A = this chain, B = another copy of it.
């Protein structure tokens, strides 16, 4: 079993390769469409998750959980959004360890303004993929995220 066999086997089956490659291609398409409003796809996604919280507010822990994102990554991803004034971060009054991320009025406006651009990207991509494959992809991705998250939490499968 030399390196060529190994490479053949891994390249033929690797889900990480495929998931990342597809994510790159899809992200580029959304980013292009969102360019006019000056927000990246990942940023709009974060704003969505914040907006859907009570009072358009989420704790960092909740956000990390929702996004399946390391909290340390979240800390930094929020920085440009805070600088842009679309979110504000404060400490919880009831538990001062907790940081609450809130959508500002500016943020609400920007998010509402993002929708038509997002729609355009979404329409373009589903047209490119085809309706059926797009739905299949969506379902497969959701299933993967859910089961992987569950597995991370379970003690026995870790490493």
**A residues touching B (Cβ–Cβ < 8 Å)?**
1-4, 6-11, 13-30, 32-33, 41-42, 44-45, 47-49, 51-52, 56, 67-69, 103, 107-109, 111-112, 114-115, 118-119, 121-122, 124-126, 128-130, 133-134, 136-145, 147-152, 157-159
**Chain B contacts for A47, CB-based, 8 A:** 7
Determine how close the nearest CB of chain B comes to the CB of A105; give it in whole angstroms: 9
The listed residue (B8, B67, B69, B144) touching A129 by CB distance below 8 A is B144
Q: Is B128 touching A22 in the complex (CB atoms < 8 A)?
A: no
Chain B hits for A112, CB < 8 A: 1-3, 6
What's the nearest-Cβ distance from chain B to residue A121, in Å? 8
Residues of B within 8 A of A25 (CB): 68, 144-145, 148-149, 152
Shortest Cβ distance from A119 into B: residue: B9
A17 vs B56: C-alpha distance when bound (angstroms): 19
Q: Which residues of B contact A18 (CB under 8 A)?
A: 137-138, 141-142, 145
Copies per assembly: 2
Partner of A15, one of B17, B19, B42, B134: B134
**Which residue from chain B places its CB closest to the CB of A45 in the assembled complex?**
B17
The answer to whether B125 touches A15 (Cβ under 8 A) is: yes
Residues of B within 8 A of A22 (CB): 19, 23, 141-142, 144-145, 148
Task: Please indicate the chain B residues that have their CB under 8 angstroms from the CB of A15 in the complex.
Answer: 26, 30, 122, 125-126, 134, 137-138, 141
CB atoms of B3 and A16 under 8 A apart = no
Residues on B with beta carbons closer than 8 Å to the beta carbon of A45: 10-11, 14, 16-17, 20
